Amino acid sequence: MATGVQPLKTGADAPSHPSLTPYWLAAPVAAYIGLILLYPIGQGIYTSFTQTELLSGVPPRFVGLANYQRMFADVAFWRAVVTTIVYTVLVVTTVMGTALLTALLMNNRFRGRTLARGIITLPWAFPEVAAVLIWTWIFSQQFGVLNVFARWLLPIPENIGWLTDPNLAMFSLVFMTIWKLFPFYSLVLLTALQAVEQELYEAAKIDGAGPLASFRHITLPGISPTLGMMTLLITIWSFRRFTSIFLLTGGGPASATETLVIRVYNTAFRFYDLSYGATLGAAGLVLALVITLLYFWGQRRWNPEAL
């Protein structure tokens, strides 16, 4: 006897009606990426193919690859690239080395460990502008406290120009960058160290492995994914670092600390050559993408299961 009640259709018999909810949820993120990130990048790349004069009121004029030809022949551009690479290599090696050493020390049990962990986070907690102003005073040739200690420790006839000597400006900039950045990476690496199973160290100790062997065969493999990702992030951030360099040295003296980002700013907003500044910015974007692709290529080659 018919009851008028239709059985529910399940499995293959159920009608296929894909839900639009995931797309609606992803729409704000897609709009943000498109409007805030992709559009400015696309506009900047387009500007690099034009001749745009900010103060003339003349509409942009398409010039093709003329700006790129100028860039490849520009000695100042290549000098900025070399300066950027030197600064990035120095920052990555010193910051990651200092962060790893500090994380290893903070991972041990000792009295006052919690207080020590709090103290090392202070440089990272400082606002960047305030930190640069403090270090500008420390490095000051006339009133800097660093010269006071240098006169005590070294037989020097006069104060050292830490920010005015082209041979010392990069050292001073890297030193300030280490102080500012290493706490964050140290805390991240400390978290990775605490995730390594302690049973592995106990088994290695029973087998007669020393501290160096345990570090090489247990600690490094355990934190290598975090170490690799942090290295990639600090490399990209060093490539685009602007505030601290601009406020501390402005790219000087004699362009000794003029990285590619500082060169882009000076070209576009000090010399009002917006088109060529956009060209330099596009070159910086390509360099950052190459570094990122090399990182993921290395990850896939040496650790196929990571990706």
Task: Name the pLDDT band for 303 (thresholds 50, 70, 90).
Answer: low
Nearest to 242 by CA among 80, 122, 124: 80
Neighbours of 7 (CB within 10 A): 6
Task: Name the pLDDT band for 7 (thresholds 50, 70, 90).
Answer: low
Show the tokens assigned to 162: 């830490």
Mean predicted confidence (pLDDT) in 31-44: 82
Task: Name the pLDDT band for 86 (thresholds 50, 70, 90).
Answer: very high
Buried b / exposed e along 86-111 (16+ C-beta atoms within 10 A):
ebbebbbebbbebbbebbeebbeeee
What is the per-residue pLDDT for 10? 52
Whether 35 is in a domain gets the answer no
What is the per-residue pLDDT for 141? 86
What is the per-residue pLDDT for 67? 93
* Confidence (pTM): 0.84
Question: Considering only 189-193, 218-222, 275-279, which range has the smallest mean pLDDT?
Answer: 218-222
First and final C-alpha spacing in the chain = 59
Q: Do 214 and 107 touch, CB atoms closer than 8 A?
A: no
What is the per-residue pLDDT for 277? 92
What is the per-residue pLDDT for 272? 85
| Res. 90: pLDDT tops 90 | yes
What is the per-residue pLDDT for 91? 94
Nearest to 77 by CA among 266, 260, 252, 268: 260
What is the per-residue pLDDT for 212? 85
Whether 169 is in a domain gets the answer yes
Give the distance from CA 121 to its chain's centroid: 18
Q: What is the pLDDT of residues 10-34, one digit of tens each?
A: 555 555 556 778 788 888 888 887 7
Q: What is the pLDDT of residues 255-278, one digit of tens each?
A: 899 999 999 999 988 888 889 999
What is the per-residue pLDDT for 198? 82
Instruction: State how many domains the chain has.
Output: 1
Question: Mean pLDDT, the chain, as a whole number?
Answer: 85
Whether 22 is in a domain gets the answer no
Domain that holds residue 86: 65-306
Whether 9 is in a domain gets the answer no
Show the tokens assigned to 180: 């500012």
Task: Name the pLDDT band for 4 (thresholds 50, 70, 90).
Answer: low
- Length of the chain measured in residues: 307
Whether 164 is in a domain gets the answer yes
Whether 268 is in a domain gets the answer yes
What is the per-residue pLDDT for 32? 80
For residue 63, give every residue at least 6 positions away whose Cβ sits within 8 Å of its Cβ, in sequence order, or none: 49, 50, 51, 275
* Position with higher pLDDT, 153 vs 102: 102
Task: Name the pLDDT band for 6 (thresholds 50, 70, 90).
Answer: low
Mean predicted confidence (pLDDT) in 96-116: 87
Mean predicted confidence (pLDDT) in 196-210: 82
Whether 200 is in a domain gets the answer yes
In angstroms, rounded to a whole number, what is the distance separating the alpha carbons of residues 297 and 307?
10
Residue listed under structure tokens 């600690």? 219
| Res. 94: pLDDT tops 80 | yes
Task: Name the pLDDT band for 305 (thresholds 50, 70, 90).
Answer: low
Mean predicted confidence (pLDDT) in 57-84: 91
In angstroms, rounded to a whole number, what is the distance separating the alpha carbons of residues 176 and 142?
19
CA neighbours closer than 13 Å in the CB half-sphere of residue 204: 16
For residue 55, give every residue at least 6 positions away whose Cβ sits within 8 Å of its Cβ, in sequence order, or none: 272
- CATH at residue 149: 1.10.3720.10
Whether 177 is in a domain gets the answer yes
Share of the chain above pLDDT 90, in %: 35
| Res. 96: pLDDT tops 90 | yes
